[in-house]
Amino acid sequence: MVAVEHHVTDQKARGAYYTPPEAAAALVRWAVRDPDEHMLDPSCGDGRFLALHPRSTGVDCDATAVSSATEAAPRGTVECADFFDWAGSTTQRFDCAAGNPPFIRYQRFTGETRRQALKLCATQGAKLSGLSSSWAPYLVVTASLLRPGGRMAFVVPAEIGHAPYAAPVLDWFARSFADVQVVAVRRKLFADLSEDVWLLYADGFGGSTDHFGLSLHERFVFRSEPPIADTRVPVREWRRWGSRLRPILLPSRIRDVYEKFRDSDRTTPLGRVAGVGIGYVSGANDFFHLRPSEADERGIPRELLRPTVRSGRELQAGAITDETVAGWRADDRPNFLLALGAETPLPDPVIRYLDSPRGVEVRQRYKCRVRTPWYAVPHVSVPDLFLSYMSGEGL
């Protein structure tokens, strides 16, 4: 059991989630135009992209993955290295690249690897934010190893469509490739991963473009040809929408309505009349939220527990009243936050809970580690109004 947990954590730390075979097959077909071309997969994992094209080079920092990749692609070359180190010293250049970069969030993507990654990007004229996940520098540095005219086809997280740190990546791609295509896929491509993924195809390295091609697919379907855009998104238009592609996926009549309201004298942004926030982030929901029975068993005083809305489903009734909370109590639901401030005197039962094996484990988590004291969940407030989104509810 412990071994499995270690494996999962290690897998997460390396962003090691492998691509479904039919997606790998499509991306290699898009990237490779000629059998003589030399292809790079900068995070090759078990070599499933390399196995599809004999003239290929793969890199991975995981020795086990590298030995699988060497077996899977006997005619290719596989390097066991940190990609950014390797990229900083190799003189090789490639006709094309295909793969699936690791998605490691900035909190874990740290140290020398990150420093080297951002330095290489800066050399290319890509000023990436300190909040970038690993995939962002991965794409830029991979592109920088292409020959002029080269192309690449990659899995990317769907946040390329909206994350602020993705904007400099797309901006750099528009300045560095003659054709940039983003394929948005609504249904999950990786069934067991919470991350939604899209695809990115870029051709004509060394050129530039004033627009992105954008296409929207309900689900991923294998196609041997590079994508054909449904929508041509001028870079100017993309900037006007806050350097986000996602709003442009909305039907244009909905965007028009939004713009009409936004620009009207009769509307005011909500943020101007109210404080708007996403609520608190506990860092370990199962630990900080208790059922009444559990709190009673542990002797945790009720005054230290605050009723809390944990899911959009709880808002369906339209209001949270004393009766609602009484219902949560009666149903013994884990909707009670252990709300401790830095100054709260800690009764013995609470100290025992915080020092339990689970508490010792939880305090190592990122969100807990970076606050003092680790158990004081910040920004807990009682709102006047809840707004839900992506809840499937309509007006």
Ligand X SMILES: C[S@@+](CC[C@H](N)C(=O)[O-])C[C@H]1O[C@@H](n2cnc3c(N)ncnc32)[C@H](O)[C@@H]1O
Q: Interface with ligand X by CB under 6 A: which residues?
A: 14-19, 41, 43-45, 48-49, 59-62, 65, 82-84, 99-100, 102, 113
Instruction: Map tokens 């025992």 to a residue.
Output: 352
Minimum distance between the CB of residue 58 and ligand X, rounded to whole angstroms? 8
- In whole angstroms, give the CA distance from residue 26 to residue 221: 9
Written as one letter, the residue type at 287 is F
Q: Residue with CB nearest ligand X?
A: 45
Minimum gap (Å) between residue 366 Cβ and ligand X: 18
Phi, psi of 345 (to 5 degrees): -65, 135
Q: Between residues 44 and 300, which has the closer beta carbon with respect to ligand X? A: 44
Nearer to ligand X, 75 or 313 (CB): 75
In the bound state with ligand X, the residue whose beta carbon lies nearer, of 194 and 252, is 194
Q: Minimum distance between the CB of residue 174 and ligand X, rounded to whole angstroms?
A: 25
Tell the smallest beta-carbon distance from residue 84 to ligand X (Å).
6
User: Which residue lies nearer to ligand X by CB, 82 or 179?
Assistant: 82
Q: How far apart are CA 246 and CA 230, in angstroms?
A: 14
| Closest distance of CB 266 from ligand X, Å | 48
If the CB atoms of residues 100 and 308 are measured against ligand X, the closer one turns out to be 100
- Closer residue to ligand X in complex, CB, 96/338: 96
Shortest separation between residue 94's beta carbon and ligand X, angstroms: 15
Shortest distance (Å) from residue 185 CB to ligand X: 15
Distance CA 182, CA 228 (A): 10
Q: Between residues 110 and 391, which has the closer beta carbon with respect to ligand X?
A: 110
From residue 71, alpha-carbon distances to 48, 261, 368, 385 in Å are 10, 59, 42, 58
Long-range Cβ pairs for the range 361-369 (8 Å, 24+): 362/283, 362/284, 362/287, 365/283, 365/284, 366/107, 366/108, 366/283, 367/281, 367/282, 367/283, 367/284, 368/283, 368/284
